[in-house]
Amino acid sequence: MRAGMGDTTLPTGGSVSGGTTLSAPCDCHDTSVVDLALEPDDLAAIRFHPDPVWETVASLGVLAHPAHHPLHRGLLERVNDPDWDHDLLVGLLASERWYPSTLAPVPSRSQDDPARALARIVETDEQVAGGDLETLRRTFPDQPRWRDTSVPQLLEETSTALVGYFGRVLAPLWERVEDITSSDIAYRSSTLASEGVGATLDDLHERLSYDAGRLRLRMSGHHEHRSSRGNGVRFVPSVFRWPCLVAELDSSPPVVSYAARGAGRLWESLPQAESTGLDPVLGRSRVAILTQLEAPSTTTRLARLLRLSNGTVSEHLTAMQRAGLLQSSRRGREVLYERTSLGHALISPQR
């Protein structure tokens, strides 16, 4: 179970495939620390990658506790007349101190289809879901839904609601969500390679730090020492997580989810290609490409937005990358392009 904000420590449930999912409070000054000792093999196996289930659940945290997520008020406006079980999903995250381990599976390293990944929640180990349901009943004894729901029913209704919610609310935003998290991963991976583990992890979140083989997480109401299991740590960037931090420490490997850099770009309007003073220097198409790259994007996506051929966009991207205006990173089979600091400086006077 996830523990988080609140004045008391709520009960947590054990599980087979996942256990205590902790959350750093968004606005609490509790200095309790969870200390995770990492072995050299763990440090070598640190990985950064996105996960659609963790991201979807992070967005539900915005709906359940909007006061703690002012950056994403735009998400609330997208929930109109829901045709999924909205009350169920928000109810699962009603406590500010935890959420069910059912909603925090070990992230998949494959580029999984979000709807398919969410549908697999129904396959959660019933011992895990049963522990979640018992905690819901103890925590919310006056809620008849938890009292009257069976474990199979909980899993079926939760997975169905998640798929429905994703399709209606998140799917239209998903390309941009993926672009932002991919950019974050490219940045973290580059920092890890050039500056090492300490510099990379210390920069993730104000409640997370690393020193001499120990990962320290300031988690409200939790003070304990743990040892790693030798399988590394998965770090999952999330657009909707800000300003919180979540960690599933009983899974193998442990998982830490943090706010991705540039999360606010999700709500920026896509800029329109207009004639600028740079047009005679760079050419209108290249200026339009630079302007569109508020968030990282692929050749195909840029071509579609600007109504240009893939070949034309590719030529412009290659030229601007050689000139130091753009940089690229790989996400699976896709190559993402984003502006460098020089590209930002060049386009900024035009904005």
What mean pLDDT do residues 332-343 have? 87
pLDDT of 61 higher than 50: yes
In this structure, what is the dihedral angle of CA atoms 144, 147, 148, 153, given to the nearest 10 degrees?
A: 120
- Return the closest-CA partner of residue 166 out of 50, 49, 60, 51: 60
Task: For residues 83 and 292, give the distance between their C-alpha atoms in angstroms, rounded to a whole number.
Answer: 34
What's the pLDDT score for residue 325? 93
In this predicted model, what pLDDT tens digit does every residue of 170-194 receive, in sequence order?
A: 998 898 888 888 888 888 988 998 9
Task: For residues 21 and 234, give the distance between their C-alpha atoms in angstroms, rounded to a whole number.
Answer: 14
What's the pLDDT score for residue 271? 46
In this predicted model, what pLDDT tens digit does every residue of 1-56 receive, in sequence order?
A: 344 433 222 333 332 233 456 665 555 555 678 889 999 999 999 999 899 999 99
SS3 190: helix
Tokens matching residue 108: 């998949």
DSSP state of 106: P
SS3 117: helix
Pairing assessment for the beta strands 33-37 and 224-227 based on DSSP bridges: parallel
Which residue(s) pair with 36 in the sheet?
215, 226
Which residue(s) pair with 335 in the sheet?
330
What's the pLDDT score for residue 22? 61
Pairing assessment for the beta strands 255-259 and 234-238 based on DSSP bridges: parallel
- Return the closest-CA partner of residue 49 out of 239, 204, 231, 182: 182
What mean pLDDT do residues 331-337 have? 82
Work out the mean pLDDT of the chain and round it to a whole number. 84
Chain centroid to CA 178:
9
Task: For residues 201 and 222, give the distance between their C-alpha atoms in angstroms, rounded to a whole number.
Answer: 20
In this predicted model, what pLDDT tens digit does every residue of 276-294 receive, in sequence order?
A: 567 677 888 888 898 888 7
Chain centroid to CA 349:
32
pTM exceeds 0.85: no
What mean pLDDT do residues 137-162 have? 96
The domains located in the chain, with CATH, are 2-264 (no CATH), 269-350 (1.10.10.10)
Q: Give the DSSP H or E segment for 319.
A: helix 310-322
In this predicted model, what pLDDT tens digit does every residue of 216-239 receive, in sequence order?
A: 988 766 677 888 777 899 999 999
Q: Give the DSSP H or E segment for 291.
A: helix 284-292
SS3 248: strand
What's the pLDDT score for residue 346? 84
SS3 247: strand
In this predicted model, what pLDDT tens digit does every residue of 249-261 receive, in sequence order?
A: 888 889 999 999 9
Contact partners, residue 64, CB within 8 Å, separation at least 6: 90, 93, 94
pLDDT of 330 higher than 50: yes
